């Protein structure tokens, strides 16, 4: 399937389930904690500098953004989790909206982003546990790989592979929005999931 990632539009910014698109196009969701680099990845995948807002401070509005790629599938920017410094109302909104997304029957696959330097946090492990329990197909994008040298990178990838919450055989792609490492592999992994829809 030939897909032009550059042909991308923000179709819907959904604050409520009623605003989710109703068509049956395949959805690949980007999941990860706030600040892990979801928007930066999205911009890199579609070759735009600032289609998705890259945040200096962790996202203030909790929405699910559906980006339609080449009219063929959606990349879904889920709201980031793990906001110790944010009000409880934010956590409730996050849970309600994310639950609605995963219960909607729409999710087809998830790209789970984990900061390669930080490693899997307790929140990441909860998310992985949820994906495993729900039998949602996922692969891992290990972000901000530019922050590590090659020895550190190898050790960090090893730690992810060995994490008991990472399903054996899960693809783990080191990625940097800064130097472009892994962008083609990420596109391929997305298309592999789209091909299974």
Q: Which is nearer to ligand GTP, 53 or 71 (CB)?
A: 53
> Which CB, 163 or 176, lies closer to ligand GTP?
176
Count of residues for the chain?
A: 197
Partner whose binding site includes residue 98, from ligand GTP, Mg ion, none (CB under 5 to 8 Å by kind): none
How far apart are alpha carbons 84 and 180 in whole angstroms? 30
DSSP assignments along 137-184, one per residue: -EEEEEE-GGGS-HHHHHHHHHHHHH-TTSPTT--EEE--TTT-TTHH
Least Å distance between CB 179 and ligand GTP?
Answer: 8
Q: Which is nearer to Mg ion, 46 or 157 (CB)?
A: 46
132 Cβ neighbours under 8 A, 6+ residues apart: 165, 167
Cα→Cα distances 121→4, 16, 36, 110, 161, Å: 34, 27, 11, 18, 14
Residue 182 binding target from Mg ion, ligand GTP, none, CB below 5 to 8 Å by type: none
User: Which residues lie near ligand GTP (CB under 6 A)?
Assistant: 32, 34-40, 54-55, 58-59, 80, 143-144, 146-147, 176-178
* Nearest-CB residue for Mg ion: 39
Site residues for Mg ion, 14-53, by CB under 5 A, read: 38-39
Cβ distance to ligand GTP smaller for residue 80 or 107: 80
């Amino acid at each position: 399937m030939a897909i032009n990632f550059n042909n991308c539009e923000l179709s819907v910014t959904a604050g409520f389930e009623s605003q989710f698109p109703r068509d049956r196009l395949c959805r690949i969701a980007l999941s990860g904690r706030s600040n892990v680099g979801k928007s930066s990845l999205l911009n890199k995948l579609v070759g735009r500098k600032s289609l998705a807002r890259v945040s200096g401070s962790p996202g203030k509005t909790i929405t699910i953004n559906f980006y339609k790629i080449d009219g063929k599938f959606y990349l879904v920017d889920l709201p980031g989790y793990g906001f110790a410094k944010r009000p409880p109302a934010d956590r409730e909104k996050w849970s309600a909206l994310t639950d609605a997304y995963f219960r909607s029957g729409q999710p087809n696959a998830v790209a789970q982003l984990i900061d390669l330097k930080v490693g899997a946090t307790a929140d990441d492990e909860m998310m992985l546990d949820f994906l495993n329990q729900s039998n949602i197909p996922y692969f891992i994008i290990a972000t901000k790989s530019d922050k590590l040298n090659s020895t550190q990178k190898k050790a960090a990838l090893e730690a992810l592979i060995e994490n008991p919450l990472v399903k054996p055989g899960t693809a783990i792609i080191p990625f940097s929005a800064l130097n472009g490492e892994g962008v083609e592999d990420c596109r391929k992994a997305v298309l592999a999931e789209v091909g299974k829809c």
